[in-house]
Structure 1
């Protein structure tokens, strides 16, 4: 298509020029006794390689453009210009994406980020990794996840957490879409911790509430309660509206009251204000696949361990309710069984 836009003759001339530049640059990077050159002349070769790469890209010869950009990046490395090498690797990553080469795309985005780190640009490195993760979400989810984690690590290790908000949110949304619940919760708890570090209390509280919601949607009452207890150790969360909202949600689950759960998440604006994909889970609680009765029994025991009053109430409730009868109702099917709720 590019050839037809540029014109066949002009495209041919551009390719010929690019080929000649590549040949000259190759000669400059090889020792020559005739020219009394005993080491590669990267300084002279670099602009030739840059121009050749651009010409190949402009005429749509992606394979040749990739070769030229890689040699141009190498030239910049040899010259000690990590910034320009990183810029070239970004272009190579994008060209690899156009060629549907996800592994190469991930590799070159990572190389670009590494060179940005070398020249003291951690924020740019994090942005590049996040951008790479986003473009790989459909074609290679596993590589996308790895790049997201690399981006989060860069922001945290360089103490540039305040610049990593978009990366955290994108990673959390993607992990939720993949239904990788444990990873999504881990990312939310990390987001909460870095938000605390930069004084973003509202963001922190929403991240912790979102982590609880994620585990409840996944049907893991014990993990949800454990996560909540970890978050409650943070004073600013313990006194927040989000903490009270989570506590009310646990109480509704403890009572095994699906109508109360649904009413609660629909009536409280806090649940709708969570990050987009987590909010979508919240307002649809309880999850159709979750075992609400089983979760309720588990929470009754867990909550009793932290609340003497709840323990006394739980013992009285268990005497009248009887575990055997409820298990039979849930596992045996019938109109009142769990399957009837799906």
Structure 2
């Protein structure tokens, strides 16, 4: 085993040799760039640089290896190298570059006809970013969900739905979180995942209530009741009880419903935590709004749900 300095010298030679292969040379009878020769040289250099902890040089070598693989049409390998670049950026806390490399990886996978692998790459990048650039992480997660849905692979994206909803809640993007929960409910409908679908609908109502948006909370409830699976579910009865508690104007009654109905504790973690905090401040105004909304529906429809 050579020293780190010796290994770095070896990698430098490989990188230099690879670079030469990408430039035409009459002396070497190379009339155009030879990316097939360059690719494995870049890869060997990258591995050595990474082993000795030379992050910036490893990043350069992996990026060039990715470009070389792209040039010769091996998009899968190009994507893998771009992901490795992203991993190195994570260890160096270079968040903007990390997102760029994971997006490149996703593009390579998709161009290669591997859409779900592209979505997976975006989700991995988002996970790496969530504590340092939540806005970009959410955008990447949503793009990943677009791909899963386009591919008809919503089942592979369930963890991503949950991850982005959790991140939205942690960063107080409550309106977006509620929208994502409804989107998840619709995806669950396509999958026949009835239990998750009902919990997602209820979760959206909880988030709207926490965000003091009575109208959207009530509208979500009414829309969900049009879905047969939800209308006869435990979540529907619990939601009705929650709205009735709000309508009463009693903070104690709201807390009692949330505490006694186990369905709230069965929601995904961040959503359940929000439920346990109900009601939020200024709930008296919410109570008035909900009373008006429910009063406009008529007693017969309320009894249908009870």
TM-score relative to the length of structure 1: 0.85
Give the 5 Å matches for 1:266-305: 266-287=259-280, 289=281, 291-305=282-296
Distance in 2 between residues matched to 1:176 and 1:10, nearest whole Å: 49
Distance in 2 between residues matched to 1:284 and 1:180, nearest whole Å: 16
Match of 2:126 among 130, 133, 146: 133
- The superposition leaves residues 219-250 of structure 1 with CA deviations (integer Å, 9 ceiling, x where unpaired) of 11111111212222212111211011101100
Moved more, 70-79 or 34-43: 34-43
Match of 1:43 among 36, 39, 58: 36
Distance in 1 between residues matched to 2:55 and 2:84, nearest whole Å: 11
CA offset at residue 310 of structure 1? 8.7
CA offset at residue 309 of structure 1? 5.8
Give the 5 Å matches for 1:64-143: 64-143=57-136
The CA RMSD over aligned residues, in Å, is 1.5
- The superposition leaves residues 238-272 of structure 1 with CA deviations (integer Å, 9 ceiling, x where unpaired) of 12110111011001101111111111111111000
- The superposition leaves residues 195-218 of structure 1 with CA deviations (integer Å, 9 ceiling, x where unpaired) of 000100100000000000011111
Match of 1:201 among 194, 198, 214: 194
Residue 231, structure 1, aligned to residue 224, structure 2:
yes
Distance in 1 between residues matched to 2:36 and 2:174, nearest whole Å: 51
CA offset at residue 284 of structure 1? 2.4
CA offset at residue 41 of structure 1? 0.8
Q: Is the CA contact 2:105–2:118 (under 8 Å) kept in the aligned structure 1?
A: yes
CA offset at residue 274 of structure 1? 0.2
CA offset at residue 35 of structure 1? 2.1
User: Which residue number in structure 2 is paired with residue 259 of structure 1?
Assistant: 252
Distance in 2 between residues matched to 1:184 and 1:162, nearest whole Å: 19
Q: Is the CA contact 1:49–1:71 (under 8 Å) kept in the aligned structure 2?
A: yes
CA offset at residue 301 of structure 1? 1.3
Distance in 1 between residues matched to 2:39 and 2:241, nearest whole Å: 64
- The superposition leaves residues 281-313 of structure 1 with CA deviations (integer Å, 9 ceiling, x where unpaired) of 1122112x2x222111111111122225699xx
- The superposition leaves residues 119-160 of structure 1 with CA deviations (integer Å, 9 ceiling, x where unpaired) of 222222222211211111111111111111111111111111
Residue 220, structure 1, aligned to residue 220, structure 2:
no
SS at match of 2:103: helix
Poorly superposed stretches of 4+, deviation over 3 Å: 308-311
- Give unmatched runs, 5+ long, in structure 1: 1-5, 312-342
Match of 2:168 among 147, 172, 175: 175
Distance in 1 between residues matched to 2:22 and 2:270, nearest whole Å: 52
Distance in 1 between residues matched to 2:115 and 2:156, nearest whole Å: 10
Distance in 2 between residues matched to 1:111 and 1:310, nearest whole Å: 52
- Give unmatched runs, 5+ long, in structure 2: none
Q: Is the CA contact 1:303–1:310 (under 8 Å) kept in the aligned structure 2?
A: no
Distance in 2 between residues matched to 1:253 and 1:14, nearest whole Å: 69
CA offset at residue 36 of structure 1? 2.1
SS at match of 1:148: helix
Q: Is the CA contact 2:175–2:211 (under 8 Å) kept in the aligned structure 1?
A: no
User: Which residue number in structure 1 is paired with residue 16 of structure 2?
Assistant: 23
Q: Is the CA contact 1:11–1:59 (under 8 Å) kept in the aligned structure 2?
A: yes
Q: Is the CA contact 2:247–2:290 (under 8 Å) kept in the aligned structure 1?
A: yes
